[in-house]
Chains A and B, each alone.
Chain A
């Protein structure tokens, strides 16, 4: 985005009419569909406007960490699949992919939304790892929010595999049991361009990014993860405004789960 186009974008934002006609606080149409992969124990496809991501959950049997012998673990991976954009490149995970994965992971982990003790099969010997893998199908901005929602939708709908007579996971037979959630963390990214603050950026709007703040919150408005990105700084007032908007929007998005 060159200087002139950036100026046009800031002008549009300050008139509360973005290139697609939305105002600064409105999300594009968000849809959540679960059970989209028969081989995954839990799965979901989330669309935010034209951004589309797929998340799949596999339960892996392993040994618990020595310092938490009665707990299982969580693992989140994100692939910026090349099918999603002309700009995604083949190769090992880029910083962007890693950041997406770690921020999504922290949002779920730090919220303590499910008890990792329920992943324990045999104390000190066997436990489940919840492995969430997210692939981008089409990129049009706002991957943080899409990944956060898709990961939660997939984990929520996931069912444990039965354990066969040899003590191994039987992936062809799932139980009816899944994880129990006491709260649902939702990540919302707020963008700053110039002095304008808004949510749910498109790919085009991301080209003009100055700074972003992803805020993951739960039902009682407690914030459980924060991530600032972008080269420009944020003022304390910015953080105050952005966290307020993010918590408000999280409530709306949570209704979709």
Chain B
């Protein structure tokens, strides 16, 4: 009846293994590759560059634009036809809001900074992986940021708070090995780790208010862990070249 042990054996507050690298796309101003469990995201930042159409320009500051895109072979089931879709548009917009709150683009008015997030494989937590990758890429691009933005999908499986849900946990209520009709909540969160400010908060599923607040408490610890990994990725970009020679 109760979710006693996680499918992959992790502790309930444990993140999946993470690989993060900065500067992986040479043409981009800044870029990153962020993989958590089996969810991977590339992020590339171009800009500040000219923004057209002109009416979109902001004379006081540059603006941020995010383009989230899953590759056709990145879904858990069959192929997903490429092209604009509503889910991607929504994720692009909420990701943008999540990231822009730490960015200071006042030095480049009337311009745009484009962030492209492309995912070659996903296993839940894709928008969070995208935001974490984008954060590294923005920093790598020289954008002024007061902190990194770290994101993770926490949630509830039955009665347990879980950090970093994977696909099986998200689908707990309708897969083999799960419990049909169980309460599941998937809560993607993006946070500014140093202040605990939440810049992205969404939820799919059912959960009580008490449980939600319980989950939010635990998330800050997870986000701080992710931030350390994001910073390490940036430092390693410069140190790895030393070891090569």
Name A residues whose Cβ lies closer than 8 Å to a Cβ of B: 36-41, 43, 50, 52, 54, 56-58, 60, 77, 79, 81-86, 90, 92, 131, 133, 135, 137-140, 169, 171-172
Assess the A135–B26 pair: CB atoms within 8 A. no
Assess the A56–B27 pair: CB atoms within 8 A. no
Assess the A38–B121 pair: CB atoms within 8 A. yes
Cβ of B139 to closest chain A Cβ, rounded Å? 17
Cβ of A63 to closest chain B Cβ, rounded Å? 15
- Nearest residue (CB) in B for A42 is B73
Cβ of A1 to closest chain B Cβ, rounded Å? 17
A240 to B76, CA, bound (A): 47
Instruction: Given the known inter-chain contacts A38-B38, A56-B73, please indicate yes or no for A169 contacting B78, CB distance below 8 A.
Output: yes
A31 to B72, CA, bound (A): 23
Cβ of B202 to closest chain A Cβ, rounded Å? 22
4 further contact pairs, Cβ within 8 A, besides A58-B79, A137-B25: A37-B71, A84-B25, A90-B67, A138-B28
For B105-117 the 0/1 string (1 means CB < 8 A from A) is: 0000000001010
Choose among B26, B82, B121 the residue that contacts A39 (Cβ–Cβ < 8 A): B121
Choose among B28, B42, B74 the residue that contacts A56 (Cβ–Cβ < 8 A): B74
Assess the A83–B79 pair: CB atoms within 8 A. no
Name B residues whose Cβ lies closer than 8 Å to a Cβ of A: 25-28, 31, 38, 40, 42-44, 46, 49, 67, 69, 71-79, 82-83, 114, 116, 118, 120-123
Instruction: Given the known inter-chain contacts A82-B67, A133-B73, please indicate yes or no for A37 contacting B82, CB distance below 8 A.
Output: no
Instruction: Given the known inter-chain contacts A39-B122, A82-B114, please indicate yes or no for A137 contacting B72, CB distance below 8 A.
Output: no
Cβ of B72 to closest chain A Cβ, rounded Å? 4
Residues of B within 8 A of A41 (CB): 73
A184 to B212, CA, bound (A): 55
Instruction: Given the known inter-chain contacts A39-B121, A133-B73, please indicate yes or no for A82 contacting B116, CB distance below 8 A.
Output: yes
A160 to B150, CA, bound (A): 37
Residues of A within 8 A of B46 (CB): 82, 86
Instruction: Given the known inter-chain contacts A39-B76, A133-B79, A135-B71, please indicate yes or no for A86 contacting B49, CB distance below 8 A.
Output: yes
Residues of B within 8 A of A172 (CB): 76
A96 to B177, CA, bound (A): 47
